[in-house]
Structures are given as structure tokens and as C-alpha cells.
């Protein structure tokens, strides 16, 4: 039996050794140091740009939560697609670096007529698309006509922004010479310029989209600082420096690789292991870990969102305004922000964040006042029936941990005598059921598209949007007429007053409990410079460089 024992021990050793060797036997390219681990000596990658300088190519690996759907910005609606197209395409106008002010883009100047119906744009000259096609007035017209002629389900954003009651807001687009484009509108549209700056309206090469048809998204061609290289679906998208980019000295990077890493913790692990350079979707609870690591930097995205608890206004007990107000007094918003947003959020008073023009700062959040809540409930004759409290099943920037926040809300409600049961569904089901008005109280949120008040208040709380984004089924005729008026009011001051008035009424009606405006977090290696995250979530990377 001694031989047997010997065999047993040697087998164990063999197993342990083989695991150990396999783990550390290969070369050490993936050390956890912060130097880039691309092996320049054996770089036979055919798509590497020909750098005249002798330095190694600058490659940024950007880790994110999901893959893009398509790279044709006109047909998609998801942020992960825009994150990439924002760097391949350019829009006529740009948002500010970290705000939603209007700045020149492919159009260097513009004029608006007195009646707000004619917009004349002077275009940048000498701009080329990645395929060598010239950018000019004709290219702009072809893009607009492509979106206009497409079906609503194809060019969703174009239709949602530039159509009203089935009518085209952009009546006509004409060229005056090669570099002047004139838009004629059928009615004034206050956020017209802001809309044009949105990612979906990136100008594509007519040569390319006419040839590719609906396959344009597989081989996108724009005028942006980077051009498309390769897409391994569900894995990575590679874009590289466009040598003929019209803005001298940009981009600073040679290549950007967007990697899909679905799990938030796994993404942070990859960053800490040095395999990616930049990661978005960092949990607030991991913020301190990143700050405590000298090889990393924590980056805050300017907030342009709202997380709220919607109260379905057509269902008892929330069909009674007093009950809705009571719930607003009952919930301790500050405690939620401190506990689950790690303080990286501001308590919300209105349905939109304070950075948006037209925000009413005379309104303050309902204070935490359980006694007031109880007396309102008594006044309303609330019967003490249990309600369903819907908890969000997925983390979102505006709601990092739906389940935990729901537990706090449940306790707050219980304290004032509203018993509740927490329920949750898979995300697609959750949205569907909430949209059908099947929830009593539900958590949800919104990230703005263009930094305009209309994109928050009208989109989320106007009666026109019941059955789409007005999940609370809130209807108020006075609010509706204010919002419709504001849509075509071109005088900024008058328009802001209309929104302020609407917010007052909404505050009193209390269709929701506005909870928080969060500051979404990203993290990067210490050597990543010049990265300015944009509140819309679509980041331009032309100015990013790496040490």
C-alpha cells in the first residue's frame, strides 16, 4: 500500500503544479502595473496607423456595459450606440463640452429669421468624409431627406423630434451655393437648434449610405475625428484616427477600442487589473475604492437626470391628490441619497435638474414630515389598504440600487400607515406593465436627450405622452396648454416663465415623488487626460490623450 500512497501524493502534486504552471507559466504581458500592455515589438496588426513619430501608438480601451445596436446614428435609440457614433459622425451644431449650450459644429454660423421659421446655416469648408466624399450643402440635404423619407420606425429620433401631429416640422431644406443651407420650418420650434445637436443627427456620407442602404450601420462613414475599423459583436468595436480630420491637431489618440463588459464589478476589476483604461457605470459604492487607488482617477459625469417614484394617478389611492402629497412628505429623500448614492446626488424638487433652463428654484422639495403625512392621509380618508411598490430590477445611473431604495421607501410608508408589498419584474416586463398603468407606485427615471425642459416635463408628464413616457398617467389641462405654448415660444425668457409655472402646478399636484438627480461615475487610469464626460452620456474623445 506504500506505493499507493506515493502515487496519491504525486498525483496531488501534479495537479497543483499543473494549475500553478498554467496560471503563471506564460509571459507576463498582463501585469497589473499601469503601463499599457500592448506589445509594440510584435505588433503585426495591419490596421495600425502609420505613426510618423517613433512613439508607441496611443490606444484607449473604453469599458462599458453593453454592445452597440447599430452604428448608423439615425436608426438607433440606445446610449451605447451613440457613445461610438458620437466619435465617427459630427452634427451641424455641437453641445458645449460639458453642458447643452449651442456651439458651432459642421455649421460655423447660423441665423434665425424673426418669425422663427427660417434657419440659415453657413457650413465649414474643406471638410471631408472618411471615404473622401466632400462635405457640403448637398450632403446635408441628402441626410435630412433620408431621415425625412424614412419610416417612423426606421428613423425614430428624427420623427420624434421633428414631427408633430403627423406633420413635418422641417418643411424644406435648400442649398444656396455649396456651403449655405436653409431650413424652412412649418411652425416655430423652440428647441430646434438643440435638437440638431443631438447624436442621432450626425451627418453621414451620402456616397456611403446610398450604396449601403440599410447596411450603413455595419460600415458607418462620417466626418468625425475617428473612422470605423472593426466590430466584433458583443465584444469590441475599434475606431481609429482619421488622418484627414478637418480640425488640426485632433484627435490625439490613434485608436479607441470600446469593450463590452456587462457586469459592473467585473468592469472595475478589469480597470484595476490594467486591461482597460476607462470604465463607465461605476457603482456609487465603489467610488471610494477608486479614489483610494493612486493609479486610478474617479470622473464625475455632470448630472442631467431624474430618479423618481411614480404614483399612478388613475389608481386608488393615488387618484387622490392629498394621498400623493402625503407620500411626498413621508419619504426621507436625503437619507436615500446619503445611503445609496453615497451622497453623489442632489435631492430633487422638480421633474428636471437645476442645470436646465427654465428650472424653478423657488420650489423646494417636500420636507420629510411623517406627522404632516399622517394628517393628510386622515384628511383624504385613506383606508389603509396595502399598495404594491415596484422596485427597479436593473441599476441605472439615476437609480443605482432599486431593491434597497424600495426597502427604505417601504419603511417610510409603513411609518405613516401605508402598508406596501415590494414587487419587481424583469426590466422589459416592468416597463410594459408600468406603461399599461398596472403599478400603484413604481420607481423609474430619465436621462435627458438635449438638455431642454420640454424633453423632461412634456415628455414625462404631459397628457399627450400617456401610454408612452407619462407612466404616472398624470393629466392636467393647464399644464398641457403651458407646455404646448412653450414648444413654439422662441423668446427664452417668456418660455422659461411658462415652464416655471408648469412646475408649480406639478409640485402641488404631486404626480410623483421626485427623488434625486444623480452624478453618474466613471473611472480611468491616472494617465488618461482630457476626458470630459458629457451630461447626455455621448462622450467626444477627440481631446483625450494618454501619458
Residue numbers 379-408 binding another protein by CB under 8 A? none
Q: Tell me the three state secondary structure of residue 303.
A: coil
Residue 167 binding another protein, by CB under 8 A: no
**Minimum distance of another protein from residue 42's CB (angstroms):** 6
**Minimum distance of another protein from residue 8's CB (angstroms):** 6
Residue 17 binding another protein, by CB under 8 A: no
Question: Cα–Cα distance between 185 and 192 in angstroms, integer?
Answer: 10
Q: Compare residues 107 and 196 and give the one whose CB is closer to another protein.
A: 196
Residue 270 binding another protein, by CB under 8 A: yes
Binds another protein by CB under 8 A, chosen from 11, 362, 378, 526: 11
Q: Tell me the three state secondary structure of residue 127.
A: coil
| β strands within 276-397, DSSP E | 278-282, 296-300, 305-311, 345-347, 387-390
Which residue stretch of 283-291, 341-349, 373-381, 427-435 sits at the interface with another protein (rule: CB under 8 A)? 427-435
Binds another protein by CB under 8 A, chosen from 248, 428, 477, 493: 428
Binds another protein by CB under 8 A, chosen from 170, 185, 253, 272: 272
Element spanning 513, H or E: strand 512-518
Residue 426, classified by CB atoms within 10 Å of its CB into exposed (0-12), middle (13-18) or buried (19+), is exposed
- C-alpha closest to that of 464 among 160, 168, 76, 158: 160
Residue 262 binding another protein, by CB under 8 A: yes
Residue 9, classified by CB atoms within 10 Å of its CB into exposed (0-12), middle (13-18) or buried (19+), is exposed
Question: Cα–Cα distance between 399 and 283 in angstroms, integer?
Answer: 10
Residue 535 binding another protein, by CB under 8 A: no
**Minimum distance of another protein from residue 29's CB (angstroms):** 7
Which residue stretch of 2-10, 139-147, 294-302, 384-392 sits at the interface with another protein (rule: CB under 8 A)? 2-10
Is the separation of the CB atoms in 457 and 352 below 8 Å? yes
Q: Tell me the three state secondary structure of residue 441.
A: strand
Binds another protein by CB under 8 A, chosen from 49, 133, 269, 475: 269
Binds another protein by CB under 8 A, chosen from 123, 261, 311, 352: 261
Q: What is the DSSP letter of 168?
A: E
Residue numbers 125-164 binding another protein by CB under 8 A? 151-153, 156-157, 159-160
Residue 246 binding another protein, by CB under 8 A: no
- C-alpha closest to that of 146 among 87, 202, 69, 219: 202
Is the separation of the CB atoms in 390 and 430 below 8 Å? yes
Q: Compare residues 70 and 313 and give the one whose CB is closer to another protein.
A: 70
**C-alpha cell recorded at residue 152:** 417612423
The alpha carbon of 287 is separated from its chain's Cα centroid by a whole number of angstroms, namely 20
Residue 547 binding another protein, by CB under 8 A: no
Residue 24 binding another protein, by CB under 8 A: yes
- Encoded one letter per residue, x for contact with another protein by CB under 8 A and - for no contact, window 193-222 reads ---------------------x--x-----
**Minimum distance of another protein from residue 311's CB (angstroms):** 18
Residue 463 binding another protein, by CB under 8 A: no
Binds another protein by CB under 8 A, chosen from 88, 141, 257, 516: 257
Q: Compare residues 259 and 333 and give the one whose CB is closer to another protein.
A: 259
Question: Cα–Cα distance between 242 and 232 in angstroms, integer?
Answer: 20
Question: Cα–Cα distance between 514 and 365 in angstroms, integer?
Answer: 8
Binds another protein by CB under 8 A, chosen from 10, 16, 17, 32: 32
Question: Cα–Cα distance between 489 and 206 in angstroms, integer?
Answer: 34
Question: Cα–Cα distance between 315 and 207 in angstroms, integer?
Answer: 54
Q: Compare residues 3 and 149 and give the one whose CB is closer to another protein.
A: 3
Contacts of 128 (CB under 8 A, 6+ apart): 134, 135, 223, 244, 246
Size of the site for another protein (CB under 8 A): 79
Q: Compare residues 272 and 405 and give the one whose CB is closer to another protein.
A: 272
Residue numbers 407-426 binding another protein by CB under 8 A? 425-426
Question: Cα–Cα distance between 287 and 290 in angstroms, integer?
Answer: 5
Count of other CB atoms within 10 angstroms of residue 252: 17
Binds another protein by CB under 8 A, chosen from 125, 432, 491, 492: 432
Residue 435 binding another protein, by CB under 8 A: yes
Residue 16 binding another protein, by CB under 8 A: no
Q: What is the DSSP letter of 45?
A: -
Q: Compare residues 30 and 300 and give the one whose CB is closer to another protein.
A: 30
Q: Compare residues 32 and 184 and give the one whose CB is closer to another protein.
A: 32
Q: Tell me the three state secondary structure of residue 174.
A: strand
Residue numbers 54-113 binding another protein by CB under 8 A? 59, 61, 66, 69-70, 77-78
Q: Tell me the three state secondary structure of residue 531.
A: coil
Half-sphere exposure of 534 (CA within 13 A, CB side): 26
Residue 468 binding another protein, by CB under 8 A: yes
Binds another protein by CB under 8 A, chosen from 213, 233, 243, 248: 233
Cell numbers 447596411: residue: 215
Contacts of 214 (CB under 8 A, 6+ apart): none
**Minimum distance of another protein from residue 41's CB (angstroms):** 10
**Minimum distance of another protein from residue 270's CB (angstroms):** 5
Amino acid at each position: 500500500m506504500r506505493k499507493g500512497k506515493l502515487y496519491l501524493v504525486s498525483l496531488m502534486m501534479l495537479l497543483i503544479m499543473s494549475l500553478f504552471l498554467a496560471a503563471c507559466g506564460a509571459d507576463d504581458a498582463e501585469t497589473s502595473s499601469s503601463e499599457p500592455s500592448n506589445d509594440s515589438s510584435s505588433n503585426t496588426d495591419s490596421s495600425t496607423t502609420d505613426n510618423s513619430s517613433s512613439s508607441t501608438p496611443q490606444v484607449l480601451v473604453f469599458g462599458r456595459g453593453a454592445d452597440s445596436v447599430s452604428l448608423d446614428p439615425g436608426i438607433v435609440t440606445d446610449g451605447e450606440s451613440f457613445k461610438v457614433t458620437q466619435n465617427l459622425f459630427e452634427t451641424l451644431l455641437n453641445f458645449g463640452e460639458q453642458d447643452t449650450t449651442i456651439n458651432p459644429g459642421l455649421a460655423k454660423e447660423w441665423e434665425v429669421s424673426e418669425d422663427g421659421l427660417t434657419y440659415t446655416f453657413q457650413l465649414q469648408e474643406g471638410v471631408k468624409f472618411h471615404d473622401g466624399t466632400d462635405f457640403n450643402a448637398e450632403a446635408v440635404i441628402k441626410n435630412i431627406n433620408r431621415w425625412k423619407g424614412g419610416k417612423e420606425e426606421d428613423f425614430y429620433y428624427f420623427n420624434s423630434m421633428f414631427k408633430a401631429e403627423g406633420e413635418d416640422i422641417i418643411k424644406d431644406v435648400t442649398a444656396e451655393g455649396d456651403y449655405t443651407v436653409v431650413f424652412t420650418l412649418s411652425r416655430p420650434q423652440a428647441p430646434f437648434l438643440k435638437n440638431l445637436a443631438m447624436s442621432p443627427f450626425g451627418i453621414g456620407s451620402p456616397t456611403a449610405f446610398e450604396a449601403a442602404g440599410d447596411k450603413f450601420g455595419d460600415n458607418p462613414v462620417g466626418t468625425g475625428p475617428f473612422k470605423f475599423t472593426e466590430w466584433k459583436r458583443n465584444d469590441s468595436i475599434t475606431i481609429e484616427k482619421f488622418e484627414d480630420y478637418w480640425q488640426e491637431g485632433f484627435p490625439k489618440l490613434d485608436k479607441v477600442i470600446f469593450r463590452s463588459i456587462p457586469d459592473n464589478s467585473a468592469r472595475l476589476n478589469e480597470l484595476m487589473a490594467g486591461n482597460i483604461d476607462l470604465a463607465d457605470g461605476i457603482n456609487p459604492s465603489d467610488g471610494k475604492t477608486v479614489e483610494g487607488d493612486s493609479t486610478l482617477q474617479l470622473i464625475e459625469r455632470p448630472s442631467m437626470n431624474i430618479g423618481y417614484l411614480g404614483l399612478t394617478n388613475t389608481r386608488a389611492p393615488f387618484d387622490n391628490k392629498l394621498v400623493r402629497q402625503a407620500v411626498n412628505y413621508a419619504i426621507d429623500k436625503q437619507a436615500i441619497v446619503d445611503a445609496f448614492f453615497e451622497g453623489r446626488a442632489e435631492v430633487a424638487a422638480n421633474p428636471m435638474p437645476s442645470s436646465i433652463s427654465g428650472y424653478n428654484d423657488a420650489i423646494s422639495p417636500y420636507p420629510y414630515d411623517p406627522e404632516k403625512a399622517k394628517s393628510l392621509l386622515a384628511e383624504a380618508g385613506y383606508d389603509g389598504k396595502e399598495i404594491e411598490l415596484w422596485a427597479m430590477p436593473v441599476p441605472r445611473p439615476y437609480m443605482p440600487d432599486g431593491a434597497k431604495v424600495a426597502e427604505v421607501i417601504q419603511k417610510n410608508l409603513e411609518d405613516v400607515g401605508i402598508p406596501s408589498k415590494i414587487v419587481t419584474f424583469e426590466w422589459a416586463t416592468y416597463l410594459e406593465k408600468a406603461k399599461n398603468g398596472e403599478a400603484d407606485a413604481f420607481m423609474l427615471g430619465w436621462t435627458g436627450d438635449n438638455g431642454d425642459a420640454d424633453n423632461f416635463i412634456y415628455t414625462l408628464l404631459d397628457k399627450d405622452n400617456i401610454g408612452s413616457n407619462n407612466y404616472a398617467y398624470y393629466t392636467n389641462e393647464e399644464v398641457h396648454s403651458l407646455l404646448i405654448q412653450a414648444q413654439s415660444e422662441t423668446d427664452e425668457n417668456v418660455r422659461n416663465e411658462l415652464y416655471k409655472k408648469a412646475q408649480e402646478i406639478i409640485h402641488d399636484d404631486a404626480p410623483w415623488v421626485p427623488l434625486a438627480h444623480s452624478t453618474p461615475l466613471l473611472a480611468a487610469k491616472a494617465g488618461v487626460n482630457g476626458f470630459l464626460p458629457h451630461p447626455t452620456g455621448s462622450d467626444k474623445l477627440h481631446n483625450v490623450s494618454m501619458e
